[in-house]
Chain A
Amino acid sequence: MKAALLKRSEFYLLLVIVVFAAAITLVNPAFLTIENLFDLIRSSSGMAILAVGFFLVLLSGGIDISFPAVAIVAQYITVNSIIALGIDNLALAFAIAIAIGLAFGAVNAFFISVFRIPTLIVTLGTMNIFHGAMLEFVGTKAINAGQLPNCFKVFGLVEVLILPRGDGTFYGLSVFFLIILAVVLITWVILRFTVLGRVIYAMGGNPEAVKRSGFNLVRLQFFIYCYVGLLASVMGIMHVSLIRYSNATYIINSELLHVIAAVILGGASILGGTGTLTGTLLGVVMISILEKNLVMLGLSSFWQQFFVGLIIVLGVSITHLQKRLRERI
């Protein structure tokens, strides 16, 4: 049991995170406080949701780079719709967003399964199609906190666990945590206990064999890409609720590479078939800490990007060196 644990790359990632956290705490004890942890969870929840979706696609042997576009498009259209409709209802907002997310996912799935176009290219194209269409036909006016419907603002503030600080004020664990929990749980159940989930793994291992087994591949691809779309749209709502600002050009530039880096650091293979949810979540934790807390190490903010890049390069180098040593060819 112990030997098996040591062989898993997630174990080493956990080790690295622990070391990192310890180092940061030494420099700045404010890091390892519950309040800071709650903060970390709140701010990284978006990345976590996106990472779970991306991980699913990667497992199946594909790659989807359109998810940030789906997130921002779903968000922007939903916010504008809610404002236009005048119905300040969170459930409605989610409904609109999820519908958009599913629709875009379906578009991706269509081109991938019917025309056999490589997934990278399809999603590269649809990313531009979705985002460009939205910018063109819906507009680019940013929505600030003043204009933002209340349902979002309230949502962003909901907390599920409230603890007191010393001075009479309170801080809490954002409801986003529950969302992450739900998403991770559902995804875990799907991947581990359903035929669909096992077929996703199988696709990553031998797509030809899956074809021969008679499983409906079109149905599979639709599920995978609609699922990512759904998760992305949920993230979009969470995002606007968190930062109380909806800018049509957000998310796309920042999240794509972070999510990919997080999932890869977590041990998933770019070719598909291997990886765990645990690893993905650890990867998100790692990237989040790097992104948001390096300043606590006393590092000049201007060198943070370099440091993050360095860690990623080192991280993937080690992962692949490990793989090479195991193969020895």
Chain B
Amino acid sequence: MKALAISHYTVTTACGRGKAALLQALRSGRSGLRHGQFEAGAIDSWFGAVGGLVQPLPAQHAGWDCRINRLLAASLQQDGFSEAVAALRQRYGAARIGVFVGTSTSGVQQAEFAYRYRDRAGQRLPDWFDYRRSQSIHMPAEFARLLLGLSGSYMSISTACSSSAKVFAAAARAIRAGLCDAAVVGGVDSLCLTTLYGFNSLQLVSADICRPADARRNGISIGEAGGFAIIDPQWSADAPALLGYGESGDAHHMSTPDPEGRGALAAMQCALDSAGVAPAAVDYINLHGTATQANDLAEDRAVCALFGEAVPCSSTKGWSGHTLGAAGMVEAAIAMLCIEHGLIPQSLNTEQPDPQLHGAIVRQTHQARVERVLSNSFGFGGSNCSLLFGRRT
């Protein structure tokens, strides 16, 4: 495929708001995770919360007010992103810019609150509950389209933890098919009880901080995040670019990865093929690396089968936590930061590398020339997506 310039991007995680906060955390090895209850009465865990989401949305958007939309609105205000979209609108026209947003749980926290405040007989949810503007899966995409003043087609992708990696693929093919001329892509997910207790029911939430690739790893730490990027095919100034993408299905199990990693391998191979580059041209792999036993093992098999055991790789979930539907976007942003700043981040919180893993897990964050980064995102339902970022040549 023709490389597509990413003219602007922004990311907000537990490490802070905007790119600089995340870059600073990556350099200093400071995790955004902390231990406790993210909501009163919730089970203790390590989690990655975005601070300061206490102010309701302004009056004209009061009907949309909920945690995920505060996070979404705050994300769009970082790094001059909204202003960059306004300029893009001037150049392409509002109707020719597609909006592609990934989310796993949308605003389901509002439904959790509504069920908690059912009437005594349990027959009626409170009147304030607004399904369309909170829980509905399309909601973050519709709200982003509204906030950005765009009027073309939009796409809300929800494939669990690959959601906001797949938005890059969906936008690239929509541009190629002529459905839009440029695109705003993004991902957003906020903390809620559904995912905390849901992953806990599958024994996938770690009591410890998440330790990707560690021999003692025993699960994820959940985080929340929002991030956005502009795909501008006509951008001529220096910028990172989407070089390739690959998507696949495991066809194996709803909540367990294929232990052979065949689907993961197919997604990575397809990403390289679409970019027309060899495995040796990849300088760093940002792993999905959730820190569950099964994920890290299957992913390592797939990585080693395709790349051998020498390409530096790490999961950055030790910084942000697993931000689920936003993970693809967060890690796309990290991939671009690595390229722009010549950075290879360590596998944070890894203390005793698992001898069963054979990939070159990065133990120390260091500077290096980084031309191309592969970013993996895998989700429930066996949904895999790999993105290749790099400089345009």
Asked whether A and B interact, the reply is no
A residues in contact (CB < 8 Å) with B: none
